[in-house]
Structure 1
Amino acid sequence: MNLKRRQFLFLGSLGAIGTGFLGWTLARHNNYIDDWAAIAAKPTKKDLLLRFVSVADTGTGAKGQYAVAEAMNFYHQQNPYNLVILAGDNIYNNGEIEKIGAVFERPYQALLKKGVKFQACLGNHDIRTDNGEPQIKYPGFNMQGKRYYTFRRHQVQFFALDTNSNADWKKQLPWLEQELSRSNTPWKVVFGHHPIYASGVYGKNPEFIKTFTPLFQKYGVQLYINGHEHHYERTTSINGTTYLITGGGAGTRPVGHSEWTEYSASSLSFAAYEVYPDRIEVRAIGTDKRVFDQGIIPIKSA
């Protein structure tokens, strides 16, 4: 597979804009950032279409989840958003819906009160109770009563998948291709719980590579977001698609560095995205409220 590293452009150092605004000062060495940059409020750019964040493997109710949630709320205060992609394992250990207060409603109370909408998919832990049905029906996860679904925000269409081993693949895959082919939005973002490319405990998924990457390339999917691996990882553009793991929503595991990896870190964190007509700007943000990775996803590969 042709890994087109140059198709994923790095943001350079951004100076301070106006009095009171912090700049983003990043120094890179061998794909790692040496000086972390604090989150800064930025003037809204005229061509900003959408701002959203993603996080996964959250549902512990423990201090790690609360620390990430606090960073998400701080980022919202500086750069308001109203959408969170919640990429599975929403309730540990067995998807018990009676824990929803402890592992969702209380940790994200500040964001929920501000009207931030969470769009969830099911992880492997979530299906251990009634095959995930209680979560599918839970209003706060906005799953439309379905295991896989699509929704649109401005010029971005999102496609939520059930990537579990017991998913109804015979129906889901034709549905995905049909919905991708029907989409008239310039931006297409797919999310599911399990990774396609990853450098952690589970690694890449050859079957998913065979199944999904041709569809993503055919229909111009620019971004796939997932969890399952408890780390942050951003790939190079692979045939026009960037694969981004934000599984450090409550705990972490070790991560390596593969040929496709642009940046990886074993960090409690979430990812923030700003969508523009020609690009998506991505930032990874840790519990110290600082940016430790950033890059640009172009709307089309060169």
Structure 2
Amino acid sequence: MKLKRRQFLFLSSLSTVGTGVLALTLAHQHGETNLVELATAATPAKKDLLLRFVSVADTGTGARGQYAVAKAMTLYHKRNPYDLVVLAGDNIYNNGEIEKVNAVFERPYQDLLKQGVKFQACLGNHDIRTENGDPQVKYPGFNMNGRRYYTFRRNSVQFFALDTNSNADWKNQIPWLERELSSSDAPWKVVFGHHPIYSSGVYGSNQAFIKTFTPLFKKYGVQLYINGHEHSYERTRTIDGTTYLICGAGAGNRPVGRSEWTGYSTSNLSFAAYEVYPDRIDVSAIGTNHRVFDRGIIKSSK
């Protein structure tokens, strides 16, 4: 059957549209969505959004990988504004030298810092190699205000930053954490530190941390623990009410496996983004290609 030119062009356009829809459908089925494509589409206003923030760790190299993740964080900020970054340790490689802070923090994130985005840091194992990390604790850009462990609140979310290093003040830190958790009336409680509790990466799960922290998290309704140290991304399924999320591929990466409690894991360079609502936290893992490669939902424990 011969087709007139107008009929042929019409059918060709339908085929092109169909291919695009199929591609987007397959991308959604695999949990991967292009942020630029989403930004060009009309989306409903998120009227009940309480807070948006991101997290990243093991960043402080000043090398190409860090800049690639920082660029992705900046693009995400343009499409989905946020003013808080949880910086989960190893902020300055290799030995925590504060004189490198311009090269490994201020320059890579200058676009975000100029727009008033606040980084809340904790100390990693590399950070304590120089003066036990004290210069970083006092550095204004990390917003630790001279404290190695501390808490702050944003809207309905209370954050608890920990020093998880082996030489931390464990005698006082654990009782402090329990006091702060028990007295908090925040609907959402987020704890972050550098070292993993559950992990399928190079270092694996920390049995001592599981014994120390998980009973507290369960007792006081901590819904999310964020960490680095493993240079990979891993989101667990909910374990006794808590989701454990590793976002340590902020500049470099290492292999990661899977465990029976793993929701998603990959070694892709990436950061994690969180949208907090009254009844849930939506988690998106975003790579340097600006694609969302994992989505998770953390439900309220109330």
TM-score, normalised to structure 1's length?
0.89
- 1:44 Cα deviation from its structure 2 partner: 3.5
Higher fraction of helix: 2
Deviation of the 1:25 alpha carbon: 4.1
Runs of 4+ aligned structure 1 residues displaced above 2 Å come to 22-25, 40-44
Q: Does the CA contact (< 8 Å) of 1:136 and 1:145 recur in 2?
A: yes
Q: Indicate the SS of the match to 2:59.
A: coil
* C-alpha RMSD over aligned residues: 1.3
Q: Give the superposition deviation at 1:158.
A: 0.1
In the other structure, the counterpart of 2:8 is none
Aligned to 2:138: 137
For residues 34-49 of structure 1, the aligned pairs below 5 Å read 36-39=32-35, 40-41=38-39, 42-49=43-50
Report the Cα distance in structure 2 between the residues aligned to 1:295 and 1:202, rounded to whole angstroms: 24
- Provide Cα deviations, 1:202-245, integer angstroms capped at 9, x if missing partner: 00000000000000000000000000000000001000000000
Partner of 1:176 in structure 2? 177
Alpha-carbon distance in 1 for matches of 2:115, 2:151: 23
The Cα shift of 1:144 comes to 1.7
Cα distance in 1 between the residues matched to 2:247 and 2:76:
16
Q: 1:23: how far off?
A: 8.9
In 2: Cα distance, 1:265 partner to 1:212 partner: 25
Residue aligning to 1:147: 148
Cα offset for 1:166? 0.1
Aligned with 2:28: secondary structure? coil
| Cα deviation, residue 152, structure 1 | 0.1
The residue that corresponds to 1:189 in the other structure is 190
CA distance in 1, matches of 2:171, 2:277: 35
Instruction: Specify the code of the residue in structure 1 equivalent to 2:222.
Output: V
Distance 1:79 1:249 in 2: 19
Between the aligned partners of 1:217 and 1:23, the Cα distance in structure 2 is: 37
Displacement of 1:24 after TM fit?
A: 9.7
Deviates more, 1:112-121 or 1:36-45: 36-45
Greater CA radius of gyration, 1 or 2?
A: 2
Structure 2 residue runs of 5 or longer lacking an equivalent are 1-23
Q: Give the number of aligned pairs.
A: 274
Residue aligning to 1:13: none
User: Secondary structure of the residue that 2:81 maps to in structure 1?
Assistant: coil
Q: What residue in structure 1 maps to residue 29 of structure 2?
A: 27
CA distance in 1, matches of 2:26, 2:224: 24
Q: Offset of 1:129 from its aligned partner?
A: 0.3
The whole-number CA distance in structure 2 between the counterparts of 1:180 and 1:125 is 28
Amino acid at match of 2:34: A
**Alpha-carbon displacement from aligned partner over 1:4-24 (angstroms, at most 9, x marks no partner):** xxxxxxxxxxxxxxxxxx999
Contact 1:195 1:205 in 2 (8 A): yes
1:180-219 matches, within 5 Å, as 180-219=181-220
Taking a change above 3 Å as real, the CA distance of residues 23 and 157 of structure 1, as seen in their structure-2 partners, is: farther
Q: Secondary structure at the match of 1:234?
A: strand
Sequence identity percentage = 77
Counterparts of 1:122-133 in structure 2, within 5 Å, are: 122-133=123-134
Which residue pairs with 2:64 in the alignment? Answer: 63
In 2: Cα distance, 1:27 partner to 1:107 partner: 33
Structure with the larger RCO, 1 or 2 (CA within 8 Å, 6+ apart): 1
CA contact (8 A) 1:216 1:241 kept: yes
2:70 partner amino acid: A
- Cα distance between partner residues in 1 of 2:25 and 2:300: 25
CA contact (8 A) 1:24 1:38 kept: no
Q: Distance in 1 between matches of 2:76 and 2:49?
A: 17
Q: Report the Cα offset of residue 43 of structure 1.
A: 4.2
The one-letter code sitting in structure 2 at the alignment partner of 1:116 is V
Question: Where does structure 1 lack aligned partners over 5 or more consecutive residues?
Answer: 1-21
AA paired with 1:38? N
Matched to 1:37, the amino acid is: T
Partner of 2:91: 90
User: 1:221 corresponds to which residue?
Assistant: 222
SS of residue matched to 2:148: coil
In structure 1, the residue corresponding to 2:225 is in which secondary structure?
A: strand
Whether the aligned pair in 2 keeps the contact of 1:24 and 1:37 (CA below 8 Å) is: no
Q: Which residue of 1 aligns with 2:102?
A: 101
